Chains A and B, each alone.
Chain A
Amino acid sequence: MKTTDTSAPVPAESGLPVAEIGTTRGTAPREKKEGTVLNAFSHGILVLWAIMVVMPLLWAVMTSFKDDSSIFGSPWALPDKLHFDNWARAWTDANMSDYFLNTILVVGGSLIGTLVLGSMAAYVLARFDFPGNRFIYFLFIGGMSFPIMLALVPLFYVVNNMGLLNTIHGLILVYIAYSLPFTVFFLTAFFRTLPTSVAEAAFVDGASHSRTFFQIMLPMAKPGLISVGIFNFLGQWNQYMLPTVLNTDPDKHVLTQGLVQLAVSQGYKGDWSGLFAGLVMAMLPVLAAYIIFQRQVVQGLTAGALK
């Protein structure tokens, strides 16, 4: 698997002056000028896009420390003082703490479930020959390209009839089901790359199929599980459409829908600063985790598309 850091060496350490000297000596003046213009142009655009990405995020952080009147009066002004009370209000009054707890429960449960069930199915599909193997594999893979919304209409009533509507465990089961296609797709490919000799040796030594899987194959598949785990974590943490349809009880809201609900109800309450604090509160843990685990996150998210 390729990651970002396998790209060509970055000439950061060499610095501009060296490059300047090199080009003046080595190439014709006309070529140098053209290269410089092009270089300045392309670099300018790269910087511009970086600013466009960071600006809205910084703006949100800044706004979360302002009071309501200055949010609307002067959106770009720095806060007069740091209004930490916005954050406190969002955490308690606006139920952000509940939304966080619900999200952690739902994502925690469905992530474990997805990895366990996904790797079990993928292992069987990758390593065993049996009639219907291809059919089941493509049944799983097909789920990746179908519009989920089409299934959500009857799904609502299926979930309702089972008494799982507006429950945390119901949401967990649905998250797992909709995470399986990509997980099975990714892990099937991964299990195929693992050597067969180790499993065969274990089997000859008398280990059962399931013991071979849990004690030998799963530890060997750890890198793949981490990649697909990060992919699923972000997808499930950020999920909006499934809970919007299947989880309409305000007490059970997860972060994304809780914030949207909050934004709608601020129309009457007018606590915009609290809402911004809530938004930033929801943004920061994921951004922080991304910066810390940057390499693994990028690997996990791009791995599937490169296969």
Chain B
Amino acid sequence: MQHGKYRFIVGFLAVPLGLYGLFVVWPFIQSIYYSFTDWTGLSPEFKMVGFDNYKRMLHDEIFWKSLQHSLLFALVLPLVTLTLALFFAFMINVGGRRRRGGPVISGVRGSSFYKIVYFFPQVLSIAIVSLLFAFAYNPDSGAINSLLRGIGLDSLQPLWLGDPSLALWCVMAVLVWSTVGFFVVLFSAGMASIPTDLYEAALLDGADRIATFFRITLPLLWDTVQSGWVYMGILALGAESFAVVQIMTTGPGGPDYSTTVMVLYVYQKAFRDGQAAYATTIGVALLVVTLAFAAVVMRLGRRERLEF
């Protein structure tokens, strides 16, 4: 297969690689370079300023707030989302009532119905979901508060997105709502590939459902959980959190910077405040946080690979 091999390789790789290099790789390299300049983005002129942007960042109170919120997103969101998803997936696939003569493990009744419904938010744009929940959270006329009034909780009428201490949690709840279904389906597929004789053996040994989950399902699903954790963390640090915070919260990023996240701060500095160089500096910090997050999860989660 040597005939014309290299010409073919070059011919097939040139366009994809060129496009990728121009629109993805080159901007990444540029932005690291720009973080050492005083480029505004508005004029083509700039000069090198060394580590000035980084020094400024370390004294920027809003930067620290956004970092704190982003870290909270990366820790809390995967934890809550994956826990819920594992629970649902286990109930759907293994949690069914055991019957004589029936299969050793079985899902609850209507398991395929749950999987279809839970997956709904995953196919919707996060922008549309955010708009919908922005209305639901409206303190006067929103669906949530009027539901609370409807069941007699007139005294409980939070401002939701308007309350600095609640706003961030409201935003996170929307992200949980929209991503749990994906992981339920993902874990379900993983659980289906666990051989049933393992469950049979556990049943013979008298294990109840909780023991079955922690001794059999979770260890055998660990690889999937771990990659799900990284995937969710990258989403929570990047594009998804940008959309929810930018669309749902006032300012955006408020009230009182209570919901601002790093990715939004990069956007605002670059495209609202005309401080492109400083924006790339925060972007580099976001890159470091993202890579560190992935490395920590992969390292902490490393265990002996179980073959089955």
**Residues of A in contact with B (beta carbons under 8 Å apart):** 2-12, 14, 16, 18-19, 22-23, 25-26, 35, 38-39, 42-43, 45-46, 49-50, 52-54, 56-57, 59-60, 63, 71-76, 117-118, 120-121, 123-124, 128, 130, 136, 139-140, 143, 145-159, 173-174, 176-178, 180-181, 184, 200, 203, 208-210, 213, 234, 237-241, 244-245, 255-257, 259-260, 263, 276, 279, 282-283, 286-287, 289-291, 294, 297-298, 301-302, 305-306
Contact = CB atoms under 8 A, between A and B. Distances in A.
Given A2-B189, A124-B13, 11 more contacts: A6-B189, A8-B105, A11-B107, A16-B109, A26-B100, A53-B181, A75-B143, A156-B41, A178-B24, A240-B126, A260-B127
B308 to A, nearest CB: 14
Contact of B182 (A49, A75, A159, A301): A301
Give the most central of A14, A46, A200: most B CB within 10 Å: A46
A164 B189 CA distance: 42
Given A8-B103, A19-B97, A282-B128, A76 B143 contact: yes
Contact of A150 (B114, B186, B280): B280
Nearest to B199: A8
A169 B147 CA distance: 46
Nearest to B238: A147
Contact of B267 (A74, A245, A256): A245
- Which 5 A-B residue pairs are closest in the complex by CB-CB distance? A238-B125, A150-B283, A177-B23, A151-B27, A256-B127
Interface residues of B, number: 120
Give the most central of B87, B109, B193: most A CB within 10 Å: B109
B103 A302 contact: no
Contacts of B305: none
B64 interface: no
28 contacts: A4-B192, A8-B93, A10-B109, A22-B102, A23-B98, A39-B95, A46-B88, A46-B108, A56-B143, A60-B132, A76-B143, A117-B16, A130-B6, A145-B234, A150-B283, A153-B279, A156-B41, A156-B270, A158-B30, A159-B23, A180-B24, A181-B20, A238-B125, A239-B125, A240-B126, A255-B125, A279-B128, A286-B125
B263 interface: yes
Contacts of A234: 123
Interface stretch (B53-61, B75-83, B156-164, B284-292): B284-292
A53 B177 CA distance: 7
A140 B34 contact: no
B255 interface: no
